[in-house]
Amino acid sequence: MTANDSQSDATHAPKPAPALHMLSFDVEEYFQVEAAREGGVGEEHWDDWPRRLAPCVHRILAMLEEHGSRATFFVLGSIAAEQPGVVRAIAAAGHEIASHGQSHTMLDRLGRDGLRRELRDSKALLEDLSGREVIGFRAPTFSVGPDTLWALDELAAAGYRYDSSIFPVRHDRYGMPDSPRWAHRRDLAAGRSIVEIPPLTLRLLGMNLPAGGGGYLRILPTWLIAAALRRCARRRRATMLYLHPWELDPDQPVLPMSLASRWRHRVNLSRTAGKLHRLLRAMSFRPAGDFTDDPAASIFTNAR
């Protein structure tokens, strides 16, 4: 087997059934990423940049329909308020709507009171637009970590049933490498609990290597990600991939960032759509909410 995506046999095998893999999208504009904020493009400057989200979302919806897969869309509250048609289109296509917070502020800066407000406000707005209960959350920049685990108690108290914010890796902005690699249930205060669904990682030389999406998906060969997903399926482990709609937009404006951040943000943008297409052709995906609410999924969500 070669690393050439177009020649890989790994992405042409029959789709497994039922799907054990989850696919998610963090619905935000390209200029709302943390690296842009660090480069000076904070919320007060967002109006200075053209909106490019909607065409990317509609392209994703068309791809999912073509391949018969469903996904979870973690929608930023500010996006829902400004572009409600995007949320309605996602919901009308049969996909899950979940919360990505309101302001795309990392939780260590947002604080507990701020998160409580954002959980309430984004949930109400997204439920109003989609006509469905919102049960899932992903923190901006995977910012639930050792110092912000209080967020899980706030999520459960606000009525959320699962979270996908803890990335069990080491990274300069986020990460909790000692956290379980698989979807699991966490016991919380006041007798509550919440399901935690981490992105896909690979275990190598005693370390967890990120492979679940974003820049990692754009850098790694598709055959390797497909092989990792199939290995997890053979072990009956549910796995999560994630992407951002802006990753299908190689013509987006160049943002003020450090050279390293600009490389991470833009590397292989022109290849994202092709990689996603091959993965969708190779296997089936389901929304995270399906696993959270499916009693048969307890073999995954109780795993530690």
Per-residue pLDDT of the chain (304 residues; tens, 9 = 90+): 444 444 444 444 444 445 679 999 999 999 999 888 888 898 899 999 999 999 999 999 999 999 999 999 999 999 999 999 999 999 999 999 999 999 999 999 999 999 999 999 999 999 999 999 999 999 999 999 999 999 999 999 999 999 999 988 887 677 688 889 889 999 998 889 999 999 999 888 888 888 888 999 999 999 999 999 988 888 888 899 999 999 999 999 999 999 999 999 999 999 999 999 999 998 899 999 988 866 555 445 444 3
Structure tokens at 99: 């919360």
Centroid of chain to Cα 64: 16
| Alpha carbon distance 119, 115 (integer Å) | 6
Asked, for residue 218, whether it belongs to a domain, the answer is yes
Give the residue among 125, 104, 72 at the shortest CA–CA distance from 288.
72
What is the C-alpha radius of gyration for the chain, rounded to an integer number of angstroms? 18
| H helical segments located in 136-189 | 150-157
pLDDT at 175: 64
Asked, for residue 5, whether it belongs to a domain, the answer is no
Asked, for residue 6, whether it belongs to a domain, the answer is no
Structure tokens at 57: 């979302």
Total domain count, the chain: 1
Give the residue among 136, 125, 126, 106 at the shortest CA–CA distance from 42.
106
- The DSSP secondary-structure symbol of 12 reads G
Asked, for residue 167, whether it belongs to a domain, the answer is yes
pLDDT (tens digit per residue) in 124-182: 999 999 999 999 999 999 999 999 999 999 999 999 999 999 988 887 677 688 889 88
pTM for this structure? 0.90
- Structural domain of residue 198, as residue ranges? 16-301
Asked, for residue 33, whether it belongs to a domain, the answer is yes
Q: Please, what is the end-to-end C-alpha distance for the chain in angstroms?
A: 33
Contact 29, 51 (CB under 8 A): yes
Asked, for residue 172, whether it belongs to a domain, the answer is yes
What is the bridge-based pairing of β-strands 184-187 and 193-196?
antiparallel
| H helical segments located in 169-287 | 214-219, 222-234, 259-266, 272-282
Please report, for the domain that includes residue 121, its CATH number: 3.20.20.370
Q: Which residue has the tokens 């108690």?
A: 153
- How many CA within 13 A on the CB side of residue 151? 31
Give the residue among 264, 164, 165, 168 at the shortest CA–CA distance from 218.
264
The DSSP secondary structure of 83-97, one letter per residue, reads -HHHHHHHHHTTPEE
Asked, for residue 105, whether it belongs to a domain, the answer is yes
Asked, for residue 25, whether it belongs to a domain, the answer is yes
What is the bridge-based pairing of β-strands 21-27 and 285-286?
parallel
